[in-house]
Amino acid sequence: MTSCPHPLIQQLTAERIRRGLSQRTAATRAGVSASTVCMWETGSSPSLTLLEIYAESLGFHLNLVAVAHATPGEATP
């Protein structure tokens, strides 16, 4: 059973398709197999490193931002 891909993967998939790139071409650019890209696009999660490489191969730059979440009973910073 596969899960829904992360919204970031959905965005990258839409960009891949918009640019007319096959999974194979996108995979070659990222240095992974086409089956790996297929797995990501159908719900498997890549490591953060591979996600960054894949995004950059499609012309994106990722910025990771840590956001504090309030614990029940605590004030938000």
CATH number, domain at 67? 1.10.260.40
Is 0.95 surpassed by the pTM of this model? no
Per-residue pLDDT reduced to its tens digit, 16-74: 999 999 999 999 999 999 999 999 999 998 999 999 999 999 999 999 888 888 777 76
DSSP 74: S
What domain range includes position 61? 1-77
Per-residue pLDDT reduced to its tens digit, 62-76: 998 888 887 777 665
Q: Quote the CA–CA distance of 39 and 42 in Å, as a whole number.
A: 5
- The domain total for the chain is 1
Separation of CA 36 from chain center = 12
Q: Which two tokens stand for residue 13?
A: 């998939």
Q: Quote the CA–CA distance of 65 and 52 in Å, as a whole number.
A: 14
